Amino acid sequence: MRFTREKIDLAYRKFKSYVYYDNFSLLLRQELAAFESADNFDKRLDDLVIFLNSPVDNNDYFENLLKSINYDIAPKKFGRPKRNEDLIISNNFTDKNYELEKVNYFFKGDIEIYLISIVWILEEGYTLHKDYSKDNFAYFLELNSENGKVEEGLRLFKPYFEQYQKWRDTGIDIAKNILEKDIDVVIISVDIKEYYYNINFDIDLINKLERTIRERLNSDRILLTPYLFRIHDKFSSIFPEKEKRNFILPIGLLSSGILANWYLKDFDTLIKTELSPAYYGRYVDDIQIVLSNTKISKEISNKKFKSSLEQFMDKFFVQRKIFNSNIIERNDKKEENIDLIYSFSKNEKIRIQKDKIAVYSFESKESKSVLDMFKKKIEQNSSAFWFLPNEDDISNDFDESVYELTYSDTINKLRSVVDIKQSKYGASIFLAKKIKVSLLSDSSKDEKTTEQILTFFKGIVNLEFSSMWEKVLTYFVITNDKEAFWSFLKETLSSIDKIKNSSETKLNGDTIKKVKKYLGEYLINCCSLSLALNPNFINANTWENRCSNYNFSWFYKDFTLIDKSVKDYIFSNLLRNSLVVVPLLNYLEIVSSNKVNLVNYNFLRTLDNLSLESLKFNEHKLKYAPRFIYYYEFNINKFLFHLLENNAPNDSYLLEVNGFQDNFKQTIYDEVFDDFYNVNYQLRNNHINNSTSNKETLKQNYFELIDGYRSCNEKKLGYNKLLIPNSGQLDPEFKVAVANIKVNSDNIYKSLFSTSNTDKKRRKELIDVLNDAEKVKADVLLLPEVSVPARWLPVIVDESRRKQRMIIIGLEHIRINNICYNLLATCLPFEHNGIKDVIVNLRLKNHYSPGETKLILSKGKVIPTPKISLYNLFVWKGIYFSNYNCYELANIEHRALFKSKVDLLFASEYNNDVNYFSNIVETVSRDVHCYFVQANSSDFGDSRITAPKKTEEKDILRLKGGENNVVLLGKIDVKKLREFQKTRVFGQDTNSFKNTPPDFNHDDIHLT
């Protein structure tokens, strides 16, 4: 086996991608960012290659790595005050101290050790996958179906959220199906106690493991497995709980997930053999079993059982020799301090506590509503982000989302409330939604939200929800709320300092100190990760002045640590990419040399003496990007920075705009694909065949750009054809949604001469429109001209990608220096190899209206005039269509361009000359002979869907006015229109459509 730098780069990228998506390893994330940002990054990877190729000769290297092994102690469970007979319910969760009951020990070491564990998975560990993969859902490797090895891409494992959902939902679905057949069903849920601390890889098991790997690799010798267990031995030797040193897998090494799954394969097999369950699934240490034609007896037949549960477990698990049952006494002999433990019959260290067992019995003759309700609740949670968040609903639903009340009786009585619990899921969803909507505008403080957050994250709740500290701090950075940021930091530090040992545990004082130190470092890291989005949010003086009063031994308050971590996150791009408002801005050279606010769109207007070099991509960042970068991100980025490149600060007139005029073929699509392919394939897989033919084959699955028509008159008018091959099939009922919204003239003025209006009211209106289009399941959504701020384009494009809905919008003017661009955006979604993406067409308006021209020129601004009036003939989902931007329709030659070429024309308008354009719509629909869809400002009206039919039937949809925005849906039958057009005039049935016009090319019609 020969190791190359390319192999180590692959392992590094997989590890980095895993850490990037893992929200529970922030300290490791920071260490990885520091590793990559260091000057010796390349040397350290090269040294690892040298060691792997000559491990015996470089044993000192490995010994030095072993010396770096340590552990972090993180809190696992805090004790809540025990309730006595008096029922006192309080909403105050602060106290003078917070008792720590349980901790977790996380592996810590040089990054090279983590990489060795990844290389082990790629070269040797993957061979174990088939022993447990059928019933296990965690740490499920992404394997190539042909060679059985791990796939080349960024993924090491299948995504957590997909696998967890599959594990949970499969069992529920099977149980529901059984019940619907009038068969009784039982669902059993069990949890293995302290799983990673009770796994013993003794010498015999290690030998068996190595033998299995050698056989499957068909090799007499394996290199990495012995070194992996030397890492385990070192970690075990320093583990603080001596009685567990021989029974532990390092939590944090990804190889441990593979080994832990393989360790339980006999456990999985025995349960399936003895129980023959309808479903058996395991996710790490969580097990779900579905038994068909089974019920729980309510009558206890033997006095030795204290409950129906004990009787059930004995019958199905103990008597069948799956588990042994053991009674363990705690501190005293009192009955309430006796635990019933079930241990695996073949390994007593694999234990399940009785209080971690849940059995759900559903009898076929009884109501099935409980299971239905549970399934419905799961579906609601799974779709929490499917619709874009409504701002009013988020704030109003806060209390309902984060607090869960437990009732003993009717909910109409206050005394029925017996407990108040906090929902981590609800709080997380709330914060994520608030962050998402806040990114749509700059510095949008919300006092109500701030109060809700600061009131909720207090005391023991704050400690228990530490995984959300970063989200809280990020929200305050995005909204530029410095006082709230400091208030939260102060409260959190105070809560950490109040942690003490629980009277019921064996944790010592040193452990408590280490937990505080861990949480202090974790909090600092949360600050750094949030500040990486805006390094200007806090400076050194402010930090040190504010922190001067925090004299905790476990808290490192020097700003240099924060500053370095922020720079490391920016350089390594391990910051939250999804929160960057300008796509791929964080991958440009400008971010490497400047403190750029990545969550503020308007910083682009403040750039002075912009260097073209600074707008180039940083090659290192692209090569080691932690995620797949979509085509549409390059698409938007390339377009925006073409605009920046083509502007000079003192332009008083414009001679040409390269992105629009000189390039009839619109090669921007090819330029974008070059970048897309380079990052996602060439840079990441430079050791495999990246031939031109492979690249062209992939491109053909994304788009095909074909030269179209050019007018003979000096070639100043034309179109090209843009085909999206993987966009889907033609639907007989193509559903078109028209947004009836009012375009405010004040907003147009602001976009031209000030800053676009992105206030809360306008955000809500846009989100409502996008959500309404999803509710009616539209294939396409059309909005009026200049109706959407340009900074919202990435959000709209991502919505198009996720929902696979075409969206056509008129963007508000983009003014860069003196030049005012009026652009029509067409978002064309598609899916290839399971990846959803979007081709974004941004077309400059060919004819600015007289009123628009007067407004712009009167302020000394410039209208970009294209040398060629270029349009597009799109083919998406089998439908041929084009679009116009309002006043373009006034040109008779332009509006006749697509005669017998299209099924459908769209027009995005802001136009008060309704009568004139109404006549144009009806004329074009007849002359071009196609469906015509128009969206105008609601106060002007005449938004419509028109067919080439007789007057009383032509309008499928037509509307005007209304105070509230609304989305209306119309259906068009393209196949029926094509069949009609294929017939010559004398054979056409005018009860369906009006006759085709003279010189209509019937042979051009597509019947597919």
Q: Give per-residue pLDDT as tens, 772-819.
A: 999 999 999 999 999 999 999 999 999 999 999 999 999 999 988 789
How far apart CA 453 and CA 310 sit, in angstroms, is 43
pLDDT tens, residue by residue, 895-921: 999 998 999 999 999 999 999 999 999
My answer on whether 852 and 938 are in the same domain is yes
**Under 8 Å between Cβ of 93 and 80:** no
Strands in 286-292's sheet, in edge-to-edge order, are: 279-283, 286-292, 185-191, 358-362
pLDDT tens, residue by residue, 940-992: 999 999 999 999 899 999 998 888 899 999 999 999 999 998 889 888 888 88
My answer on whether 878 and 942 are in the same domain is yes
Residue 615 tokens read as: 């707008």
Q: In this predicted structure, what is the pLDDT of residue 653? A: 36
pLDDT band, residue 603 (cuts 50/70/90): low
Assess if residue 351 is contained within a domain.
no
Assess if residue 294 is contained within a domain.
no
The secondary structure element, H or E, covering residue 64 is helix 59-67
- For residues 746-767, average pLDDT: 93
pLDDT tens, residue by residue, 256-304: 999 999 999 999 999 999 999 999 999 999 999 999 999 888 888 887 8
How far apart CA 77 and CA 495 sit, in angstroms, is 15
Report the chain's C-alpha Rg in angstroms: 32
Span of 532-536, 542-546, 714-718, 963-967 with lowest mean pLDDT:
714-718
Assess if residue 363 is contained within a domain.
no
Contacts of 481 (CB under 8 A, 6+ apart): 445, 450
Which amino acid, 454?
A: L
- For residues 176-200, average pLDDT: 93
Q: Give alpha helix (H) positions in 573-667.
A: 589-593, 619-623, 631-645
The secondary structure element, H or E, covering residue 381 is helix 369-382
Assess if residue 709 is contained within a domain.
yes
Span of 364-378, 641-655, 835-849, 886-900 with lowest mean pLDDT:
641-655
CA dihedral (754, 756, 758, 759) in degrees, to 10, reads: 30
How far apart CA 946 and CA 754 sit, in angstroms, is 37
Number of separate helices (H) and strands (E) present in the chain: 34, 28
Q: In this predicted structure, what is the pLDDT of residue 443? A: 65
**Under 8 Å between Cβ of 477 and 533:** yes
Assess if residue 868 is contained within a domain.
yes
Q: In this predicted structure, what is the pLDDT of residue 161? A: 87
Q: In this predicted structure, what is the pLDDT of residue 649? A: 47
pLDDT tens, residue by residue, 369-389: 878 888 887 777 666 678 888
The C-alpha angle with vertex 482 and arms to 476 and 487, in degrees rounded to 5, equals 85
Assess if residue 150 is contained within a domain.
no
My answer on whether 650 and 617 are in the same domain is no
Residue that is last in its domain, among 607, 623, 639: 623
Average confidence score pLDDT of the chain: 89
My answer on whether 575 and 686 are in the same domain is no
My answer on whether 657 and 605 are in the same domain is no
HSE (side-chain half, CA atoms, 13 Å) at 590: 20
Does the pLDDT value for residue 87 go beyond 60?
no
Residue that is last in its domain, among 623, 647, 676: 623
pLDDT tens, residue by residue, 393-428: 776 667 777 876 665 555 555 555 556 778 888 899
Q: In this predicted structure, what is the pLDDT of residue 650? A: 41
The DSSP symbol for 898 reads T
Nearest to 884 by CA among 801, 784, 1003, 979: 784
Q: In this predicted structure, what is the pLDDT of residue 880? A: 96
Nearest to 954 by CA among 977, 934, 931: 931
Q: In this predicted structure, what is the pLDDT of residue 95? A: 83
Q: Helix, strand or coil for residue 836?
A: strand
My answer on whether 408 and 442 are in the same domain is yes
Residue that is last in its domain, among 623, 649, 681: 623
How far apart CA 808 and CA 781 sit, in angstroms, is 6
- For residues 336-353, average pLDDT: 84
My answer on whether 586 and 657 are in the same domain is no
Span of 72-86, 483-497, 650-664 with lowest mean pLDDT:
650-664
pLDDT tens, residue by residue, 431-453: 999 999 999 887 678 888 899 99
pLDDT tens, residue by residue, 189-203: 999 999 999 999 999
Q: In this predicted structure, what is the pLDDT of residue 298? A: 81
Q: In this predicted structure, what is the pLDDT of residue 1006? A: 75
Identify each DSSP E strand in 632-725 by its residue range: 704-710, 717-724
pLDDT tens, residue by residue, 675-715: 999 999 988 775 555 567 789 999 999 999 987 777 666 66
Beta pairing partners, 704: 723
Q: In this predicted structure, what is the pLDDT of residue 23? A: 86
My answer on whether 613 and 691 are in the same domain is no
Does the pLDDT value for residue 534 go beyond 90?
yes
Calculate the alpha carbon distances from 244 to 72, 88, 503, 564 in Å: 16, 40, 22, 37
Please give the residue range of the domain that contains residue 485.
Answer: 384-623
**Under 8 Å between Cβ of 460 and 95:** yes
My answer on whether 592 and 727 are in the same domain is no
pLDDT band, residue 656 (cuts 50/70/90): very low
Span of 139-143, 340-344, 490-494 with lowest mean pLDDT:
340-344
My answer on whether 639 and 617 are in the same domain is no
Total domain count for the chain? Answer: 2
- For residues 342-365, average pLDDT: 90
My answer on whether 431 and 451 are in the same domain is yes
Q: Helix, strand or coil for residue 698?
A: helix
- For residues 141-168, average pLDDT: 93
Residue 410 tokens read as: 């009717």
Does the pLDDT value for residue 255 go beyond 90?
yes
Calculate the alpha carbon distances from 630 to 387, 570, 599, 635, 830 in Å: 21, 20, 19, 9, 12
Assess if residue 743 is contained within a domain.
yes
Assess if residue 378 is contained within a domain.
no
CATH classification of the domain holding 672: 3.60.110.10
My answer on whether 571 and 532 are in the same domain is yes
Q: Which residue has the higher pLDDT, 353 or 766?
A: 766
pTM above 0.85, yes or no: yes
Does the pLDDT value for residue 734 go beyond 90?
yes
The secondary structure element, H or E, covering residue 823 is strand 823-832
pLDDT tens, residue by residue, 604-624: 655 555 566 778 899 999 999
pLDDT band, residue 477 (cuts 50/70/90): very high
